[in-house]
Chains A and B, each alone.
Chain A
Amino acid sequence: MRSNRMGWGLLAPTLIILGIFGLLPFFYVIYVGFFDWNVFSAEVGRQFAGADNYRRLVFDEEFLGSVGRTLLFAFCVVTIEMILGFLLAQTLVRDFPGKAVFRTIYALPIMIAPIAVGATWKLLTIPGFGLLPYYLDKWFGIEYQLGSHSGQAFWTTVVMDVWHWTPFVTLTMLAGLTAIPKEPLEQAQVDGANRFQVLRFLTIPMMMPVIITTLFIRIMDALRVMDEVFLLTGGGPANATRYIGILIWRVVFPQTNYGYGSAMSLLVLYMTLVLAFLLFSVLSRVGKQNTSEK
C-alpha cells in the first residue's frame, strides 16, 4: 500500500504534465470541433454546429486533395527512406576507412531544425539565385522552376525530407543490425545460404521489430510534415505541396476558422491511427508468416 502511494507520487508530476499539455488540449480540440467558430464571422462567438464540420469535410475537395497528397508524400518518403536507410545501415555495419567521419557527416541533417532545413533548401532551390536551378540548367539543360512546376515542387519536398530523415532510419537500423546475434547468420552461411537468402530469411525477420518501430515513427512524422515544406514552397505552386499540416495551419491561423480546423485535425488523427493499425496488422502477419516458414 505504502509503495503504491510512493509510486503514484513519483508518477504524479508526469501525469499532471501529460494531463495539462497532452489530454486537456486534445479534449478541447474535440470540443471546438463541434462548433462553428470563426473570429471574424458576423455572428460573434462559438455557435454549436453538431457534426456539420465533419459533414463539410467529407465533401471538401481541398481537404480531400490535401489528404491524398499527404498520403502520397508519406508513401514516397517513407519507402525511399526505409530502403535507403536499411542499405546504408548494412554498409555502415562493416568497417571501412573513414567510417567514423562518414557516419558523423551523414548524421548531421538530423540535428538541423526543420525550419532551418526549409530555409537552407529554399536558398538552394530559389530560381535565379539557387545552386540547384543553376547547375541543373548548366549541366543537364533542365529548367527547374519550383514556383511553377507542381511535379518539381512535390519531388523537391520528397528529396528534402529524404535528405533530412534517412540518417535517422539508418541509425535505428544500424542499432538493430548490431544487436542481431551473429551465430544464426554464420550458421546459415555454413549451411550454404547466399547473401540474399540470409537477408531475406534471417536478417529481415530478426529486424522486424526495429523496422516496424522505425516505419511507424517515420509515417507519423511524414503525415504531419509542415514547417520545412511551408518555408520552402508555402504549399505551392498552387496546392501542389499543400500537405494536410499546411492546410490545417491555413484554416486555423490566417483564416481563424477554429471549429473547422479542429475537426480537420481530429479527422487526420483518426486516419493516422487507422492507417497505423492496418499497417501494424499487416506487418505483424508478415512477421508471423516468416517465423512459421522458418
Chain B
Amino acid sequence: MRKQSRSISLVIGILVIFSMLFTACAAPVAPAAAPAADVAAAPAEPAAGALDPMTLVSDPAWWATAAEPYKGVTITGISESTPPSRYAAEVLGPAFTALTGINVNFEVTSWDEMYNKPIKDMEAGTGIYDFVYIEQDIIYSYLARDFMTNLTQLLADNPQLKSADFDLSKFTSFIDNFKDADGNVYGIPMEAFIKPYLYRMDLFTDPAIMEAFKAEYGYDLAPATTHEQYMDIAKFFTKYGEDNGLELWGTTNQAHTGHASSTYEYFETVAPTFGIFNWGINMDTWKACEANGGSMNSQTAKDALQWRVDLLQYSPPESTASTWDEVAATFAAGRAAQGFVYGENTVWIALDPDRSQVVGKVGVALPPLSDGVMAQIESGEGYIGYYDGGAFGVPSTSKNKEAALLWEQFIGLESVQPAWAIAGSRIVMESTYDDPMIQEANAKADNYYTKMKEEGPLYRGAPPFPFHNQVRGAIDPFIWKALAGDMSAADALDQACVVAEETMMQLGYGE
C-alpha cells in the first residue's frame, strides 16, 4: 500500500515537473498576447458591471406584475459564445431574473451547436428552447419552416405583457431582417455589426515605415483602397517583420481549411469587394455557374479567390487553422498589420488592455474595392461586405412563450443597450450611438461606431437563401481545397458552382 502511494506521489510529481517544463518551453513561441483559444473563450467584460434592473425600467412594479404568473418559471435559450451573447447570459439574464422572478437558463455554445440544437428541437417539436439566437443568415430558412413565433402577433394577443418602455420603432433598420413580407417581427435584434478593415495605425503612421514603403512601392502608405495596394501592404509588413525579428505578418486570414468560416470569409468579405454578390448565385433562377446565369465561377470570382489564396503567404502561420475567433485574437496579439475582423471584436481589441496588445493602435476603414464596385454598391446592386448580426426569437414550439416575450422586451430596452454595445461592439438602436459611453469608446476605437452608423448602409446581411447552410456546406470543401493548395482557385469554383446547383435542385430550388 505504502509502495503504491509512493508511486502515485512520484507520478504526480513527475507530471507537475513536466507541466512546468512545457510551460517554460512554450514561452518563446507564445504570442505577445493570450493564445487564440483563451481570448475567444474569455467572457465578455460587463462594461457597466452588474446592472441594477430597477434603474433600467421606468416602472419596475409593472414588470413584477406582468411576470407574476410566470414567477419561478425557467426560460431556456441558446446562442453562440460571442461577446454580445456572453454579456446577455452573464449580465442581462440575472438582471431580468431580479426584475421579474423568471429564471433564465442561457446556453452559450459553439457556432455549430448554436444551429444544431435548436433546429433539432424545433423540428422535433420538443419545446426545450424558449428563445434562440437567429443569425441574420438563417432567418429565411427558419421562416420557410414556420419555426419562429410572430412576436408582433404575440404582443397584440397579450396586451397585458406589452411594456411601455419597449418600442420596436427605436431599432435601427437592421430589424427589417427579422420581419416577414407583412412587417411582422420574428426576432428582437441583439447584435449588429459590420466587418470592417482593421489596420495598425501605429505602423501605418510610423515615419520610418512610411518612408520605406514609399521607397519600395512608389506611393504613400495608407489603408488600402484597392486589392493591389492591400497585397503590397501585406507583402511589405511580412518582410518588415522578418527583417526586424518581429512576430508580424502582413494580414490576418480567416482561412481554416476545415471550418465554414473560411467559406464565409470568401463569399461575404472578399468576393463582394470584387463585385461578386449573393455568393454568385442568381436568385431568380437559383443557378450558380456562369453558363447558367450565375457568377460563382466567373473570372472575377476566380480572381477574388486567387487573391485570397495569394494572401496566405503574407498571413501568420496559424491562418489555415483560424476561424473568426482566432483572427480577432491574432490581430489583438499584434501579429498582423491589417485584416478583416468581425466588428463585434473591434472595440475590445482597441480598448481592453487585458486582452489586447494593440490598444489605441487600431484603425478602422472600408475594405479595398475593385474598379466600379462602389458604383454598384451605391446603386443598390451590391454591397461592400457583411453586416452581421442576429436576434433572439421565440420558437413556435416554446412552452413558455409569454415569459419569453417579457425577456425579448427586456433585451430590447433602450436602457440596456449602451453597456451591451461596449461589451460586444454591437448596436441595434439609433439612440445608442449618442450615448456618452459609446461616444467615449468611439473616440478610442478610430470612430468605429460612427463608421458603422454612416457606412453601415454600404454593408448587407446574407442573401435571403432558404437553404443557406445546406449550400454553404456543399461548397465548403472546394474553398478549403483552394486554400490548402490542393486545387486551383479556378477549378475549385468551377466545381463548387456545379455542386451548389445540384444541392439547390435536391432541395427543390431551380430547374
Do they bind each other? yes
Contact B22 A237 (CB under 8 A): no
**What string of 1s and 0s marks CB contacts (under 8 Å) between B473-498 and chain A?**
11001001101111100000000000
Chain B residues whose CB sits within 8 angstroms of the CB of A237 once the complex forms: 257-258, 320, 480, 483-484, 486
Interface 9-residue window, one of A25-33, A34-42, A78-86: A34-42
Question: Which B residues lie at the A interface, using CB under 8 A?
Answer: 3-4, 7-8, 10-11, 14-15, 22, 25-26, 28-31, 35-37, 112, 115-116, 119, 123, 141, 144-145, 255-260, 312, 316-321, 335, 466-467, 469-470, 473-474, 477, 480-481, 483-487, 506-509
- Residues of the A chain whose Cβ atoms lie less than 8 Å from the Cβ of B470: 38, 40, 255-257
CB-based contact A126/B321 at 8 Å: yes
Task: Looking at the assembled complex, report how far the CB atom of A258 sits from the nearest CB atom of chain B, in whole angstroms.
Answer: 9
What are 6 A-B interface contacts by the 8 Å CB criterion? A40-B141, A41-B507, A127-B317, A147-B258, A238-B477, A238-B484
Contacts of B469 in A (CB 8 A): 40, 254-256
> In the bound complex, how far is the Cα of B22 from the Cα of A122, in angstroms?
15
Q: Within A127-162, which residues are at the interface with B (CB < 8 Å)?
A: 127-131, 133-134, 145-150
Is the beta-carbon distance between B507 and A236 smaller than 8 angstroms?
no
| Contact across chains for B258 and A235 when beta carbons are under 8 A apart | yes
| Cβ distance B174 to chain A, nearest Cβ, rounded Å | 23
A224 interface residue, CB < 8 Å from B? no
Tell me the smallest distance from the CB of B6 to a CB of chain A, in Å. Answer: 9
Given the interface contacts A41-B507, A253-B112, does A104 sit within 8 Å of B256 by beta carbon?
Answer: no
User: Which residues of B sit under 8 angstroms from A41, Cβ to Cβ?
Assistant: 467, 506-508
Residue with the highest number of chain B CB atoms closer than 10 Å, among A126, A234, A241: A234
Verify if A105 is at the interface (C-beta below 8 Å from B). yes
Residues of A within 8 A of B481 (CB): 238-239
Query: With the chains together, A254 CA to B256 CA distance in Å?
Result: 17
Given contacts A129-B30, A235-B258, A236-B257, contact A150 B486 (CB under 8 A): yes
Contacts of B474 on A, CB cut-off 8 Å? 255
Say yes or no: B506 contacts A236, CB within 8 Å.
no
Question: Does any Cβ of B come within 8 Å of A93's Cβ?
Answer: no
Query: Is A123 interfacial (CB 8 A cutoff)?
Result: yes
Q: Is the CB of A130 within 8 A of B29?
A: yes
The reply to whether B320 and A127 contact each other, CB–CB distance below 8 Å, is yes
B-contact bits for A3-45, CB 8 A (1 contact / 0 none): 0000000000000000000000000000000000011111110
A148 to B312, CA, bound (A): 10
Is A101 an interface residue when CB atoms closer than 8 A count as contact? yes
A265 in the interface (beta carbon within 8 A) = no
A100 interfacial by beta-carbon distance below 8 Å: yes
What are the interface flags for A240-273 relative to B under an 8 Å C-beta threshold, 1 for contact and 0 otherwise? 1110000000100111110000000000000000
Contact of A148 among B30, B257, B473, B477 (CB under 8 A): B257
Given A129-B30, A233-B258, A238-B481, decide whether A44 and B319 contact each other with a Cβ distance below 8 A: no
Task: Evaluate contact between A129 and B320: CB separation under 8 angstroms.
Answer: no
CB distance A239 to B477 under 8 Å? yes
Residues in B with CB closer than 8 Å to A104 are 7-8, 11
* 0/1 interface trace, chain A 98-115, chain B, CB 8 Å (1 if under): 001100110000000000
Which B residues touch A101, using CB under 8 A?
7, 10-11, 14
Interface residues on A, range: 35 or more
Q: Which residues of B contact A62 (CB under 8 A)?
A: 477
In the complex, the chain B residue whose C-beta lies closest to that of A257 is: B470
Q: Is the CB of B507 within 8 A of A40?
A: yes
Q: Would you list which residues of chain A between 64 and 105 have a CB under 8 Å from chain B?
A: 100-101, 104-105
The smallest beta-carbon distance between A290 and chain B, in angstroms, is: 38
On whether the beta carbons of A42 and B7 are closer than 8 Å, the reply is no
Residues of chain A at the chain B interface (Cβ within 8 Å): 38-44, 62, 100-101, 104-105, 122-123, 126-131, 133-134, 145-150, 233-242, 250, 253-257
State whether A148 touches B484 (Cβ < 8 A): yes
Centre residue among B312, B321, B467, B508 by max chain A CB count within 10 A: B321
Q: Indicate if the CB atoms of B115 and A254 lie closer than 8 Å.
A: yes
Q: B31 touching A255 by the CB < 8 A rule?
A: no
Task: Verify B7–A100 contact, CB threshold 8 A.
Answer: yes
Q: Say whether A236 contacts B258, CB under 8 Å.
A: yes
A253 vs B123: C-alpha distance in the bound complex, in angstroms? 12
* A44, A134, A234, A254: the one within 8 Å of B29 (CB): A134
Contact B116 A234 (CB under 8 A): no
Kindly provide the distance from the CB of B350 to the nearest chain A CB, expressed in whole angstroms. 23
Q: Which of B28, B115, B260, B473 has the most CB of A within 10 A?
A: B473
Residues of A within 8 A of B318 (CB): 126-129, 147
CB distance from B488 to the nearest CB of A (A): 13
Given known pairs A129-B36, A234-B258, A237-B486, the reply for A134 and B28 (CB within 8 Å) is yes
Of B112, B312, B317, B486, which one neighbours A133 at CB under 8 angstroms?
A: B317
Q: A254-B469, A256-B470 are in contact. Are A131 and B22 (CB under 8 A)?
A: yes
CA distance A43 to B44 in the complex (A): 41
> A11 to chain B: closest CB distance in Å?
31
Alpha-carbon separation in the docked complex, A242 to B35 (Å) = 26
Cβ–Cβ contact A42 & B507, under 8 A: yes
**In the bound complex, CA of A253 to CA of B110 (Å):** 13
Cβ of A254 and Cβ of B473 under 8 Å apart? Answer: yes
Complex Cα distance, B320 from A257, in Å, reads 28
Give Cα A239–Cα B8 distance, bound, in whole angstroms. Answer: 43
In the complex, the answer to whether B473 meets A145 with C-beta atoms within 8 Å is no
B12 → A minimal CB distance (Å): 10
CB <8 Å contact, A40 and B473: no
A146 to B15, CA, bound (A): 27
- Chain B residues, Cβ within 8 Å of A236: 256-259, 480, 484
B145 interface neighbour in A44, A128, A240, Cβ under 8 Å: A44
Q: Are A147 and B320 in contact (CB under 8 A)?
A: yes
Question: Which residues of A have CB within 8 Å of B466?
Answer: 40, 42
Residue of A nearest to B140 (CB): A40
**What is the minimal beta-carbon distance from B241 to any residue of chain A, in angstroms?**
12
A39 touches B486 (CB 8 A): no
Write the nearest CB–CB distance from B347 to chain A, whole angstroms: 25
A128 touches B259 (CB 8 A): no
Min CB gap A273→B, angstroms: 28
Cβ–Cβ contact B484 & A234, under 8 A: no
Contacts A239-B480, A257-B470; is A128 near B486 (CB within 8 Å)? no
Q: Give 6 nearest A-B pairs by CB, closest first.
A: A147-B320, A236-B258, A234-B258, A42-B508, A237-B257, A237-B484
Given contacts A42-B466, A126-B318, 17 further A-B pairs with CB under 8 A are A40-B507, A100-B3, A104-B7, A123-B35, A128-B29, A147-B257, A147-B318, A148-B483, A150-B486, A234-B257, A237-B258, A237-B480, A239-B480, A239-B481, A241-B258, A254-B112, A254-B473
